């Protein structure tokens, strides 16, 4: 095999209570990438469509993660990367992760799969760090593993795959404003109260249990964030109206997707998801802010070869 075309999906990090540790993978939105082996050694990015991103390898997240795996594998050939970007940078659904994970996944395939998914996540973290000024894997892990993931530990990297209840659907609204991850991390407090920590870790524990037992009621009761959402929600216009509308329309829970501005809701069944989407659409259409919306089943496969 001398070239490969892949679909690298969008992801929702944090999942309300699991800041920097939980995430899940979306199905309907993602980037496409074509990676080719080249006789010339090294990494080049020859094409970027969709958004204006740097071609310079060391300034592009897909390039930086590609270099990480390339420098470790040391093949006697190189790679040419084409990026067809559909996920808007700064939208909160793992745009940088899709690029960072996509290039390492594809290069691993072209090398004959010498690395496992945890090792690929580690390489991809180098690219993600360029976008958010810190290494974290809560978007990368669901993109590479699919489904719900928990980043148990960063060093050594340990990722736990969680089960995906079959009837779970996500509704995502993306208000067309940009929030930089680095900026939305900068506004967070460095310390949290013991009371809030207790509430939060109880919610993470019960959400993990609820995913294992397909307990939709407990999923709903666990989708609460008392630590990050109170701060970040101020950056997202009409966040509390969207949340209230979604819950009133039957969503199991609603929260900020990653570092925002996208807002996700989890719903039981496609009919419920469509109802929640219509209600949010109706609400947001009355505001001055343009937006995009989609419904997605949880993608249990992650990145796939096209
Ligand atoms: N966990 C990260 C955050 C995800 O919320 O800042 C965004 O990259």
Q: What is the DSSP string of 181-233?
A: HHHHHHTS-S---HHHHHHHHHHHHHHHHHHHHT-HHHHHHH---SSSHHHHG
The reply to whether 218 and 69 lie within a common domain is no
Domain end, chosen from 136, 162, 188, is at 162
Q: Which atom of ligand 1 is nearest to the CA of 13?
A: 4
Instruction: Classify residue 306: in a domain, yes or no.
Output: no
Asked if residue 303 is part of any domain, the answer here is: no
Task: Enter the pTM of the model.
Answer: 0.96
CA-to-CA distance for 29 and 23, rounded, in angstroms?
A: 16
We report the CATH number of the domain holding residue 272 as 3.30.70.890
Please identify, among 133, 162, 191, the residue that sits at the C-terminal boundary of a domain. Answer: 162
pLDDT at 181: 85
Q: Do 31 and 180 sit in the same domain of this protein?
A: no
Q: Which of 14, 16, 22 to mutate to test the pocket of ligand 1 (most atoms within 8 A of CB)?
A: 14
| Same domain? 251 vs 146 | no
The answer, yes or no, to whether residue 262 has pLDDT greater than 80, is yes
The answer to whether residues 107 and 198 belong to one domain is: no
C-alpha distances out from residue 262 to 93, 106, 158, 186, Å? 7, 27, 27, 18
Give the mean model confidence (pLDDT) for residues 240-260. 98
**Same domain membership, residue 221 and residue 197:** yes
For residues 81 and 104, state if they share a domain. yes
Does residue 233 sit in the same domain as residue 143? no
Residue nearest to atom 1 of ligand 1 (CA): 20
Residue 127 lies in a domain: yes
Q: What is the pLDDT of residue 136?
A: 86
Residues 20 and 93 in one domain: yes
SS3 250: coil
Residues 239 and 152 in one domain: no
Tell me the CA–centroid distance for residue 259 and ligand 1, in Å.
5
Residue nearest to atom 4 of ligand 1 (CA): 258
Ligand 1: does its nearest atom lie under 6 Å from the Cβ of 258? yes
* Residue 8 forms part of a structural domain: yes
Last residue of a domain, one of 104, 132, 162: 162
CB-ligand 1 contact for 262 (6 Å cutoff): no
Structural domain boundaries, residue 24: 3-162
Does residue 305 fall inside a structural domain? no
Instruction: Check 128, 149, 164, 245 and give the catalytic one.
Output: 128
The reply to whether 172 and 292 lie within a common domain is yes
Above 90 in pLDDT, residue 131? Answer: no
Helices (H), the chain: 61-73, 95-110, 117-132, 140-145, 181-186, 194-213, 216-222, 229-232, 239-248, 270-285
Is 302 inside any structural domain? no
Predicted confidence (pLDDT) per residue in 187-206, tens digit: 999 999 999 999 999 999 99
The pLDDT of residue 134: 77
How many angstroms separate the alpha carbon of residue 258 from the centre of ligand 1?
5
Q: Which CATH number fits the domain that encloses residue 96? A: 3.30.230.10
Helix, strand, coil share (%) of the chain residues, nearest 5: 40, 25, 35
DSSP 3-state of 179: coil
Q: Is 181 a catalytic residue?
A: yes
Q: Is 288 a catalytic residue?
A: no
Q: How far is the CA of 60 from the centre of ligand 1 (A)?
A: 18
Query: Which of 78, 2, 66 has its CA nearest to residue 42?
Result: 78
Identify whether residues 23 and 95 lie together within a single domain: yes
Q: How confident is the model at residue 133 (pLDDT cuts 50, 70, 90)?
A: confident
Residue 304 resides in a domain: no
Q: Are 41 and 25 spatial neighbours (Cβ–Cβ below 8 Å)?
A: no
Pair 190, 281 in one domain: yes
- Total of domains in the chain: 2
For residue 136, the SS3 value is coil
Q: Which atom of ligand 1 is nearest to the CA of 97?
A: 8
Does any domain span residue 145?
yes
């Amino acid at each position: 095999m001398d070239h490969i075309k892949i679909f690298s999906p969008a992801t929702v990090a944090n999942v309300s209570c699991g800041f920097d540790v939980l995430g899940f993978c979306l199905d309907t939105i993602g980037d496409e990438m074509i990676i080719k082996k080249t006789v010339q050694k090294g990494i080049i990015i020859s094409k970027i469509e969709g958004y204006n991103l740097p071609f310079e390898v060391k300034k592009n997240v897909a390039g930086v993660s590609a270099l990480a795996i390339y420098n470790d594998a040391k093949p006697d050939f190189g790679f040419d990367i084409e990026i067809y970007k559909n996920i808007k940078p700064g939208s909160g659904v793992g745009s940088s992760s899709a690029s960072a994970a996509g290039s390492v996944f594809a290069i691993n395939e072209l090398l004959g799969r010498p690395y496992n998914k945890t090792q690929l996540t580690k390489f991809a973290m180098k690219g993600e760090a360029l976008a958010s000024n810190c290494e974290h894997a809560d978007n990368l892990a669901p993109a590479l593993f699919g489904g719900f993931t928990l980043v148990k530990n960063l060093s050594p990297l340990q990722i736990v795959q969680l089960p995906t209840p079959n009837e779970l659907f996500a509704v995502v609204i993306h208000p067309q404003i940009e929030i930089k991850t680095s900026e939305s991390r900068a506004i967070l407090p460095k310390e949290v109260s013991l009371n809030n920590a207790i509430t939060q870790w109880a919610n993470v524990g019960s959400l993990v249990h609820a995913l294992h037992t397909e307990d939709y009621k407990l999923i709903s009761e666990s989708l609460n964030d008392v630590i990050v959402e109170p701060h970040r929600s101020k950056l997202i216009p009409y966040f509390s109206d969207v949340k209230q509308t979604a819950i009133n329309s039957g969503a199991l829970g609603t929260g900020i997707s990653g570092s925002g501005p996208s807002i996700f809701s989890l719903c039981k069944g496609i009919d419920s998801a469509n109802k929640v989407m219509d209600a949010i659409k109706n609400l947001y259409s009355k505001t001055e802010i343009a937006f995009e919306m989609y419904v997605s089943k949880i993608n249990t496969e992650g990145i796939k070869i096209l």
